[in-house]
Amino acid sequence: MGNGTLETAAPTEARSRNRFRDGGRWMGFASAVPPALVAAWLLSLLPRVSEGRPVLWAVDWAPTLGVSLAFRIDGLALLFGLLVSGIGVVIMLYAGSYLKGHVHLGRFFLYMTAFMFSMLGLVLADDAVALFVFWELTTVTSFLLIGFTHTDPKSRRNALQALLLTGGGGLALLAGLLLMGLESGTLRLSAMDPVLIQGSALLPGIIVLVLLGCFTKSAQFPFHFWLPNAMSAPTPVSAYLHSATMVKAGIYLLARLSPTLGGDPLWVWSLTVAGALTAVIGAAWALRQTDLKQMLAWTTVMALGALTLLLAGSAPISLAAAMTFLVVHALYKATLFMVVGILDHEAGTRERDKLAGLARAMPLTAAAAVLAAFSMGGFPPFLGFIGKELKYEGALALVAAPGVAAFGLVLASAGMVAVAGMIAIDPFFGRQRKSVSARPHDPPKSMLAGPLLLAGLGLAFGLAPGVISGPLVQPAVTSVLGGPATVKLALWHGINLPLVLSIATFTLGVLFYIFRTPVVAGLNAFVGRLPMTGERAYDGWLAGLKALAAWQTRILQGGHLRVYMATTLGAVVALTLFTLFWADALALPAAGSPSLSILGVTVAVTAAAGAAIVVTTRSRLAAIGALGIVGTAVAVLFLMHGAVDVATTQFLVETLVVVLLAAALVRLPRLTQTPRRNRRARLRDGILSVGAGLTVTLVMLAVLAEPFDRRVTDFFEAAAWPEAFGRNIVNVILVDFRALDTFGEIAVVAVAGMGAYALLKGGMAVPKQPIESLILRTATRGLAALLAVFAVFMLLRGHNDPGGGFIAGLIAATGFTLLALAHGVGLARQALGGAPRIVALSGLGIALLSGLAGALAGGAPFEGLWLFLGGDPAAGDKGIPLSTVLVFDIGVFLVVVGSVLAIVFGLEEEA
Amino acid sequence: MSAAWLLFLPIALPFAGAVLAFIAGRAGDRRAPQWVNVGTTALMTLVSLLLLSAVWRDGPQAIQMGGWAAPFGITLVADILGAVMVVITALSGLAVAVYAMADIDEGRAKLGWHALYLVLLAGVTGAFLTGDLFNLYVWFEVMLIASFCLLVLGGDKAQLDGGLRYVALNLVATVMFLMAIGLLYGLTGTLNMADLHVTLKTVDAPGLVTTIAVLFLGAFGIKSAVFPLFFWLPASYHVPPVAVSAIFAALLTKVGVYALIRLFTLVFTADVDYTHGILLVIAGATMVTGVLGAAAQNQVRKILSFHIISQIGYMVMGLALYTPLALLGAVFYLVHHIIVKANLFLVGGVAKRITGSFELDRIGGLYKAKPWLAVLFLIPALSLAGIPPLSGFWAKLVLIEASLEVEAWVIAGVALVVGLLTVFSMSKIWLEAFWKPHPDGDAAVGAVALTRGETVALVAPIVLLASITVIIGLAPQPFLDLAARSAQELLAPEAYVRVVLGGLP
């Protein structure tokens, strides 16, 4: 299934290698130093750890969350740490030559080193959150490395696939770890009390979540398919991350959590079933591959399945088998990957049927391959043999279905024997094929040293298993078991069931190898008839997700403002209305209050009628006029409630708005056709509008049914004159009590002026002639002057009588507008003495300064500073008041004048 | 500096800067406005940090504007949440102001872009510092008008179209907000939020209070762009210049979220089961619909815009769960998100400069040509996706732990799955813009060379924001401390209420 992947990936990799430049090997040497140092350091800890004294180191990281950077090196951590760092040394050296001269070599080693430290952090961490942090870092670095040949679409696709699968599993793992933390009261893995967790009602959930994390990371069925696809990474990456280290992270965590979560039937069965299926599938699929790297990837899947299966149990022998096989696998698998990389490098292909007879040209490579293959096939006296015997012994000691597990392992191991033959015999022996590129030979020493060393270790440890059993495997098993264990590794165990199974395996494996052509054909036929594979499920899932996203976006964000408006308004109104009834908040004010006057009703009906015209008319001017009616009616309502200032402002604003809108609309092209909406849309909008109005009315009535708290109102009435020196309460509120509100609002006005001006000048400006009317022209100069004087008068008296900056500003603006309409903008601008927007912003600045004055004088901002000129305290006459409050109102005045005129001039001015 | 200055200057400075920038710009020097802008935002940053340190040291700070005691005048008040938000506003404001030096053309600058930008910041700061509900409305209006003008300024048809949608839908929020204030005032006779906290306990109409609370929830829901009220955001954020998108992305919705947090911890806490229950549903729906929206997009700024929505869901989730840990998460998330989101838009803008488009199928090749940009993109992108050890990881971690703690399994599951979908939709930008070769060949990358000045202006803010993301990620504890104190204050607002109403210094 991954064949297509590699056929396109391999040439790309080859191409980038064609651009080899000098240098790069030193980078490999340099990058090998850190792992070498780490490995040496870890080896120095070996005596202490194998005595059962773990190394601890912790520092608080996020104490609020109970998270610390805690590390604990026990037997298990040490075993993994040594694998990560030891194999790291070999791979870095190898990669330096393999990728020599690659344009992105620096990045490559950066990612590899980052990965290595993340992986070390993962296996050494004792804090669950810290472990997760490193876990995710390995995912990210793996993503960057799988997509290293990023110009190839397949590489990108496979990188994303690995990211999503392992990332998704990672998130599940996080939830699982956090739940373990909550249930046990600590995030320290070593301090989590198995009793608390095993007794938790959440145990099944925790197990499922943790297993999702481990199974995705370690490529267990049904998530296994990302791993072979990840082979689009450069071969050193595959050798390191996707066989020896990262994919073992899930295995590591299963082992690490075994004392806490193990033993539960859900755990045992999940591991057994997933492990056995993965092992068998991995072996079967490995046989089907024609690309040697793919073949190795699938054998990794098989190995991971076997490891998971062995970790299902908690018998010391199963665990010992798992830990030993871990070492075996790391040694031969890294070797074989490097060998395949060398073949690819030298012969230009990794296709099984194109390679043969290379042993003469590449004797050392062939030696490494054969040594590793022996270990892989489990032949004595290699460590692989011991590993396999232990595997069978361990499988037979499992709790759940030991017979089936052992049978599965025999099948899978037989597959391994055949695969070992295909990798170590086929390419190197027999007659060399012509298709192979000219003159293959052994690669440089730095590329060969690693494979030979690791393969040699596979033999050495097999001959002297005591070297690893005591110091490495036994402490690791002790950690997983949570208690002391004795592990003895030996080649000869006597004649027992495992030996019988071993012999069966060899026989079966050799048969598989000899009849490989029909076996593969049969497997292919079988696979072709499978209804579903993980890969296809992933593709389907992704396609479904994209379709869902597109569908949802079409529905939700379809691009029609009408729909947006209706939904927005409808949702809020519906929720409010529902709450009103649900919370039983409906109430009516007591009879008689508020009184309904005839005038009030008339005004309300007028306003409603105006609104009705706005929404039904086809004429723009009629709509504007009707809008004016609504505004005026509202102004009358203000008047009826004694708010003269507010009403005046409203009147003036309404007038100006109508004039400005009309002036703007005159420039628009005539509507030839009024867009008519269909009846359903109109009905919907109608219901919505009525519903919104009704809802607000109902809530309002309920509010009116409650008594009104007059505290603030009473204070304003009481304090306005004695404390704020103003009789016009509205103005005092505006410029003093709530001056900050006013300040904000004039900023709004000023910005509106700027914005409108910018829009008008930014658009297409049509030359505009002043209105030709002699009467208008003669009258306006005088009228404008009069309005200006009147405005100043209104401004100054505002604090005590109706007036103030807003009203005065609107009056003055009207005067200038008249001037502009009659005599052109030029004159009006001249009369104003500056650009309107400058006037407006200066006003804003003045208002701000008046506010700052209060603070500069040691009080609060906007605190009024008063100076009374020539007062007669005895007569109760304070004199002529000068105050920062007045200055503030002048600022308001200027802002209003400037902003209105910015709009007017923008409309009237030529472009 | 006294409390009065510390509280008032963050609002007064940008206003003064706006006036100065506009007048200086008109006076002739075409570079003056942008330097005024950068200077002002730098000063704001300084003052806001002083404010935060004062609040951290002495507890909530308040001043009564005009010297009128609460609840009669308007109170400016800063607790940890308010002060933190002001700091982050100033900081992101500074970053984007620097970026704007190279991003905003002369035409826009002449029309008052820098002044409008500063007014926007003033509005945002005002919203974070006010203790008065109507005053909050005023600041919302300031923000709305300033943001609308920034959206359409110097604009083409697309900008006007986006601007229209933006303003029309936001006006619905404005109307709702105003009505809700009127109704609440009718019920209680006060606008001061601390006073409302006290007064509402004596109001004998619980159902009515809840109804009004829901109306506020609707108004702020629109502002925060939660489901199903978010339409205005994806309709408009991709049209203006990058600097505008970035500051909008950083701040606008967050003011809505802040207002939700403030009101639904200080004022409306009588029927938490109902109101916060609604919030929790909204939070989940917002996360899911937002991230799916992002997954459907193929344009950098549209993807990022939908992500804002999705991320808002996380913050609302923190408020909705209403536990100390959850609120801590909400506050932490706010801070993290502002930094990261602004930065992603800035990086997107640079990517566009180099590759020529925001459309993913028309760009590529950045990884090979500009590795430094790849790093600068990866930091905020991975952080947004919640990858450790960056700021977003801690934000999500806290919220997920908070939901697990109260056994809110569904929302925890949603938060986790949406996290994965976030990875998916962010990876699209990486795969297409960075890894994929440019469809027009390698030469198309960086065809338009940037001057050194432009490069500095565009990249320095990105580096600044990315460093903050990394710092929060590596050393989260100080930020967790802040957020924890804030959560504490929000759940027990006695000190806040006392400093507002008691007139204590």
CA distance A129 to chain B (A): 9
Q: Count of residues for chain B?
A: 505
Residue from B177, B448, B471 nearest B335 by CA: B471
CA distance B137 to chain A (A): 9
B162: contact with A, CB 8 A cutoff: no
CA distance A58 to chain B (A): 15
Q: Is residue A394 over pLDDT 60?
A: yes
Nearest to A568 among B126, B172, B382 (CB): B172
B471: contact with A, CB 8 A cutoff: no
Q: Mark yes or no for CB contact B400/A132 under 8 Å.
A: no
Strand partners, A56: A72
Domain ranges of chain A: 279-514, 726-911
Nearest to A575 among B76, B123, B218 (CB): B218
Write out pLDDT tens, residues B418-439.
999 999 999 999 999 999 998 8
From CA A737, how far away is CA A864, in angstroms rounded? Answer: 10
DSSP string, A648-663: HHHHHHHHHHHHHHHH
Q: Mark yes or no for CB contact B141/A553 under 8 Å.
A: no
Of the spans A153-157, A670-674, B2-6, B472-476, which averages the highest pLDDT? B472-476
Which tokens in the block code for residue A701?
A: 């009535």
From CA B288, how far away is CA B411, in angstroms rounded? Answer: 11
Strand partners, A73: A55
- Mean pLDDT rounded to a whole number for chain B: 93
What percent of chain B clears pLDDT 70, i.e. is strictly above it? Answer: 99
A window 43-72, beta carbon within 8 A of B: 60-65
- On the question of a cis peptide bond just before residue A594, with omega within 30 degrees of 0, the verdict is yes
Nearest to A751 among B145, B187, B424 (CB): B145
Q: Is residue B369 over pLDDT 60?
A: yes
What percent of chain A clears pLDDT 70, i.e. is strictly above it? Answer: 92
Q: What is the model's pLDDT at position A13?
A: 45
Q: What is the model's pLDDT at position A78?
A: 94
* Residue in chain B lying closest to A167 (CA): B420
Question: Is residue A420 helix, strand or coil?
Answer: helix
From CA A125, how far away is CA A58, in angstroms rounded? Answer: 9
Q: Would you state the torsion angle of the CA atoms of residues A410, A411, A417, A420, taken in this order, to the nearest 10 degrees?
A: -130
Backbone angles phi, psi at A877, to 5 degrees: -95, 120
CA distance A172 to chain B (A): 7
Q: What is the model's pLDDT at position A356?
A: 80
Which range is least confidently modeled, A738-747, A759-768, A816-825? A759-768
Tell which wins on pLDDT, B312 or A801.
B312
Q: Is residue A667 over pLDDT 80?
A: no
Q: What is the model's pLDDT at position A432?
A: 66
Q: What is the model's pLDDT at position A11?
A: 40
Tell which wins on pLDDT, A774 or A683.
A683
CA separation, residue B298 to residues A671, B149, B293, B363, B481 (Å): 37, 27, 10, 11, 39
CA distance B214 to chain A (A): 6
Residue from A369, A274, A257 nearest A314 by CA: A257
- On the question of a cis peptide bond just before residue B389, with omega within 30 degrees of 0, the verdict is yes
The residue whose two tokens read 């990798």 is A423
Per-residue DSSP letter, A382 = S
* Residue in chain B lying closest to A712 (CA): B72
Q: How confident is the model at residue A435 (pLDDT cuts 50, 70, 90)?
A: low
Nearest to B5 among A758, A845, A855 (CB): A855
Q: Is residue A6 over pLDDT 50?
A: no
Q: Where are the beta strands (DSSP E) in A63-139?
A: 67-73
Strand partners, B148: none
Entry pTM: 0.93
Write out pLDDT tens, residues A852-911.
998 888 888 998 888 887 767 676 666 777 888 899 999 999 999 999 999 888 887 754
Q: How confident is the model at residue B376 (pLDDT cuts 50, 70, 90)?
A: very high
- On the question of a cis peptide bond just before residue B71, with omega within 30 degrees of 0, the verdict is yes
Q: What is the model's pLDDT at position B248?
A: 96
Q: What is the model's pLDDT at position A762?
A: 61
Can you give A452-504 as a three-state secondary structure string?
HHHHHHHHHHHHCCHHHHHHHHHHHHHHHHCCCCCCCCCCCCCCCHHHHHHHH
Per-residue DSSP letter, A232 = G
Write out pLDDT tens, residues B272-320.
999 999 999 999 999 999 999 999 999 999 999 999 999 999 999 999 9
What percent of chain A clears pLDDT 90, i.e. is strictly above it? Answer: 41
A511: contact with B, CB 8 A cutoff: no
- Residue B445 gets the label, from left (phi > 0), alpha (psi -120 to 50) or beta, of beta
* Residue in chain A lying closest to B326 (CA): A65
Q: Is residue A20 over pLDDT 50?
A: no
Question: Is residue A883 helix, strand or coil?
Answer: strand
Write out pLDDT tens, residues B152-193.
988 778 888 899 999 999 999 999 999 999 999 999 999 999
Q: What is the model's pLDDT at position A592?
A: 60
* Residue in chain B lying closest to A739 (CA): B66
Section A25-53 average pLDDT: 90
Q: Is residue A466 over pLDDT 90?
A: no
CA distance B26 to chain A (A): 8
From CA A759, how far away is CA A391, in angstroms rounded? Answer: 78
Section A378-393 average pLDDT: 86
Q: Is residue A674 over pLDDT 60?
A: no
Section A164-180 average pLDDT: 95
Residues A251, A321: contact at Cβ < 8 Å? no
Chain centroid offset of residue A700 CA? 43
Q: Is residue A415 over pLDDT 70?
A: yes
Q: Is residue B339 over pLDDT 90?
A: yes
From CA A468, how far away is CA A456, in angstroms rounded? Answer: 14
A838: contact with B, CB 8 A cutoff: yes
From CA A386, how far away is CA A388, in angstroms rounded? Answer: 5
Q: Is residue A297 over pLDDT 70?
A: yes
Section A730-755 average pLDDT: 92
Which range is least confidently modeled, A453-462, A487-496, A536-545, A779-788? A487-496
Q: How confident is the model at residue A12 (pLDDT cuts 50, 70, 90)?
A: very low
Q: Mark yes or no for CB contact A837/B148 under 8 Å.
A: no
A710: contact with B, CB 8 A cutoff: yes
Q: Count of residues for chain A?
A: 911
Q: What is the model's pLDDT at position A19?
A: 40
**Count of pairs with CB atoms under 8 A, one residue in A, one in B:** 346
Write out pLDDT tens, residues B24-45.
888 777 789 999 999 999 999 9
Q: What is the model's pLDDT at position A841?
A: 94
Q: Is residue B490 over pLDDT 90?
A: yes
Can you give A316-352 as a three-state secondary structure string?
HHHHHHHHHHHHHHHHHHHHHHHHHHHHHHHHCCCEH
Which tokens in the block code for residue A829?
A: 């601008």
* Residue in chain B lying closest to A745 (CA): B138
